[in-house]
Amino acid sequence: MPLRTDVRTDVRTDVRTDVRTDVVVTDLRAEHGDPHLGLGTARPRLSWITRPTGATPASWHQSGYEVLITTVPAADRSGRAPTWSSGRIASGDSVLVPWPAAALGSRQRVRVQVRTWGTDQDNPTAFSAPLVLEAGLLDPSDWVAAPVGPDWDEDPGEDHRPALLRRRFSLPGPVARARLHVSAHGLHEVELNGQRVGDEVLAPGWTSYAHRLRYRTHDVTALLRQGENALGAWLADGWYRGRYGTHGGNRNLYGQRTALIAQLEVDLTDGRRVVVATGAGAGEDDHAWRAAHGPISASSLYDGEHHDARLELSDFSTAGFDDSGWAGVRRYERDPATLVAADGPPVRCTQEVLPVAVLTSPSGATILDFGQNLTGRLRIRVRGQAGQRVRLRHAEVLQDGELYTRPLQSAAATDTYVLAGGGPDGEPEVWEPRFTMHGFRYAEVTGWPGRLGEGDVVARVHHSDMARTGWFSCSDERLNRLHENVVWSMRSNFVDIPTDCPQRDERLGWTGDIQVFGPTAAFLYDCSGFLASWLGDVAAEQLEDGTVPWYVPMIPAQFWDPPQPGAVWGDVAVLLPHVLHERYGDTGLLRRQYASAKAWVDLVERLAGPSRLWNTGLQLGDWLDPAAPPEEPAAARTDKYLVATAYFAHSARTLARTAQVLGEQEDAARYGRLARQVREAFVAEHVTADGRLSSDAQTAYALAIVFDLLPRDLRAAAGRRLAELVAGDGHRVATGFAGVNLVTDALTLTGHDATAHALLTETGCPSWLYQVAMGATTTWERWDSMLPDGTVNPGHMTSFNHYALGSIADWMHRTVAGLASAAPGYRRLLVRPRPGAALDSAAARHETPYGTAAVSWRRAGERLVVVVDVPLGVSASIDLPNRPITEVGAGRHRFEVTAAPANDTATATCAGDASALQPA
């Protein structure tokens, strides 16, 4: 990295300059924040938050910043590390700002600090605490490792026993720094000198392996020593070659052999580098790797894991272990261009849950109730004789007091542990499966020796370890439970990819589900890196004609194979990047996904033809409309081609906005024209002169209103008709996936707040609170996954842990509590609470890229008291009932207005301008 002439070689000299102390720079991060080790880009974008420490003026905004970058050497050598300064950069940006210096090289390690200037004075803040960044292997030529796996014959038509791999190696001197870059064909866990490396599970996760195989970089300096060492690994089938998919699934989706790809790079204190890599060369190095079977006799993501503790080799990853009886390994061809650094958090255990009850079923079985439907697995602590077998069977629900497994379809969801044996008085054996995952609330325990004690069985919750960023609460505990159910369903299904359900033989990355749930997800958790990674697979799996698969990664022979274009689902290519830009300010993601988004809209334009009506081909439409028969989930009240054309118009308009953001003016004009043409065709085909739609159904009106497809003079009539339909249905939900995230917004946009609140708080089936009344702890796939008599819906696909119907939470955040983004990354807030008549209070809080934003309101007699927290550098538009709209700056603000309850006589603030309140 070249140095400027104004280099500071010691940032401590800055203490001699005048710095402002009422503002500090915190939360410095690169890209999406996790990981900072093994970055996959040479120019990581930087973000930070400027927070007040005292009476900072509300008008304070950043006017400039400076970045210091200090090279961190691999070894501790004498001499001062060079520090580069950007100098003062005039900019108010602090979210995903461009890397200001020379590009990083592979493995380069730097320490970054930032300080800022405000608009009100010349003195800068102090420099932030340092952030240490380290680049990964940025060029395919950096990889010398190749995949290696056990050299024994296996039947490709069966599940395979997970294997153990190991090799010894020697280090000729003390270790200064060591990095392990690792991935696998299959799933892996790695050990060094008997110690587990990292805490992630199901690594390297599931991507479109032929295009993108993720690797992670681990700091293993503390696990190595001068002299003899050993590297060991567990390998299992996972998604790579295990049985996966519905109706029995398929095997060997990506290959017939599991393999480890590991490159251990050790920098010694004398400056030498030792590289230990799989498949790195011929001769002795290749033969140093050895393989054997371990204690796991079977492992499947669907069916569970079987572990015989009598076969454990607890010291197999130590240097002194005798592997003379082990088999050799086989080297496989590699494509290093597919290896990409992880850009989001791994799957980890994030919580432990104890049983709330131990039940005895009518058949005499012991069933543990954990009180919460979740995704994870059980850890047991057990004493007994060698050979005793404990079986753990999982399910989401009970029926007639017994574990009910029909909704699992062909997934066995059963783990088995065979005790090594120390007797009832010996040390307890502690075990948890390694390479499986289950969706469950209940577990049936069979073969337990003796009596179950407290803490003997613990449910460990696993999901991608995203940071929580959003919270909601109100005076109605039923709505609080509903919101908590939404959170749990997101946690349960954000397991490396956004899945549909965690329990049955499916667990696929359905594109339509996350398209409707994306805004809710982006409020509740920082899923920027998680979804950016998945969108990379969406683009990779997209067909040459622009077709987006129904689910990503795409696996064959499941549903509608080969993939066919379908509205709502395929529109994820346009709409989800837009959501992430609105919520995180990530223009880079918009640019990266732009070609994918254009390909989708261009495809639909060709399919619609000159008529601009998409009225041909397979469509799932308003999937799982509650009126649809159990075995015909696409048989909705709303015409599927009305849905398709509405989404065509919406995606074309959204793409035009994306093009505008990216400076693609010709595209912005082209897709803007296309959106207007589709809108006109929609009106001519589906709208009558009095504002009625060809499908007189809730979803049809919700789409037309929220997507702004109606002439201005017909919007009010459409809103009234929607409110009539909702009231006529007893304020029960009558939408499926295509309308569930829009119906309350449509009512709000047209001045029917009371109807929207009545829809939210109805308890009859189908409704959101019906699920709560039935004891749900997650949101369901079907509105009536469990029928009022306590039996499970007879439909073939019935899950109790889906997030799509939980997309209502986005409206709860933006309208019930009143906290919304009005500019990308929450640079500007819209505070617009519309209290329901039955609520006494509500609150929402969100950790925006600029800091904490919060809104709370409560009734005080006939007054409504509203408190708003605005982060530094952010402004807010305050839109309260019976009060003119007010613009405020940073700080805490308190307002009192007349506490008019929600009603259907008020005029919507943005009537005629759906984009202002449209869910971002």
Total residues found in the chain within this entry? 920
Among residues 33, 94, 36, the alpha carbon closest in space to that of 61 is found at 94
Answer for the pair 425, 383: CB distance below 8 angstroms, yes or no: yes
Given phi > 0 = left and psi -120 to 50 = alpha, else beta, which region is 293?
beta
Give CA–CA dist 699/73, Å, rounded. Answer: 60
Token readout for 709 is 């497809």
Q: State both tokens at 62.
A: 């950043």
Question: Which active-site residues does the annotation give?
Answer: 506, 781
Q: How far apart are CA 691 and CA 681, in angstroms?
A: 15
DSSP label of 815: I
- Cis amide bond preceding 336, omega within 30: no
Tokens of 276: 């230990």
Residue 838 phi/psi, 5° resolution? -85, -5
Beta carbons of 854 and 842 less than 8 angstroms apart: no
Residue 914 parent element (H or E) = helix 914-917
CA dihedral 824, 825, 827, 830 (to 10 degrees): 80
Q: CB atoms < 10 A from the CB of 190, how many?
A: 25
Cα separation, 626 vs 767, in Å, equals 10
Which runs of consecutive H residues, i.e. helices, occur in 547-664? 572-584, 587-608, 640-661
CA torsion 617-622-628-632 (nearest 10°) is 40
Could you tell me if 510 and 534 are in contact, meaning their C-beta atoms sit under 8 angstroms apart? no
Query: Going by C-beta distance under 8 Å and a sequence separation of 6 or more, which residues neighbour residue 443?
Result: 367, 368, 370, 378, 392, 393, 394, 457, 459
The CA distance from 42 to 278, in Å, is 26
Q: Where do we find the tokens 């280099």? A: 7
Cα separation, 813 vs 96, whole angstroms? 25
Other CB atoms within 10 A of residue 369 CB: 14
Compute the distance between CA of residue 681 and CA of residue 675 in angstroms, rounded to an integer: 10
b/e sequence 843-867, b meaning 16+ C-beta within 10 Å: bbbbbbbbbebbbbbbeeeeebbbe
